[in-house]
Amino acid sequence: MTHDERHPHRITASLVAALAIGVSIAWPAPALASTALAQKYACMACHQAAVKVVGPSWKEIGARYSDGKGTAAQLAASIKGGSSGKWGAMPMPAQPQVPEADLQALAQWVLDGAK
């Protein structure tokens, strides 16, 4: 009897670990929104957590779309397509380069309070 035959749980654990690594490489994790993701797409140049800069703060955006007044999908579409006149004279430039998963994650992050 070999060492591996006496300890079959070691082989199983090794196979599970190898499979988990393979799956994580094959399927990337969904985008997790955070300040880092907002920085990646330069959102922070115009938006901040609690104060208006060029555009409204995350807090203002979250308040406007909270309580079911808007969905993450609607906010993501607004980010992607840009907008004009929703928050004053300064238009929001379209952000078509942002991947859909990141748009959805950013929109949900803002609606959840950008924490």
In this structure, are residues 31 and 105 in contact, taking their beta carbons and an 8 Å threshold?
Answer: yes
In this prediction the pTM is 0.69
DSSP code at position 100: H
Of 98 and 34, the structure prediction assigns the larger pLDDT to 98
Q: Which whole number is the average pLDDT over 83-93?
A: 92
Q: Which whole number is the average pLDDT over 8-26?
A: 48
C-alpha–C-alpha distance, residues 69 and 101, integer Å:
22
> Quick one: pLDDT at residue 22?
46
Q: Which whole number is the average pLDDT over 51-64?
A: 93
* Average pLDDT of the residues of the chain: 80
> Quick one: pLDDT at residue 5?
57
> Quick one: pLDDT at residue 16?
45
pLDDT at 18 over 50: no
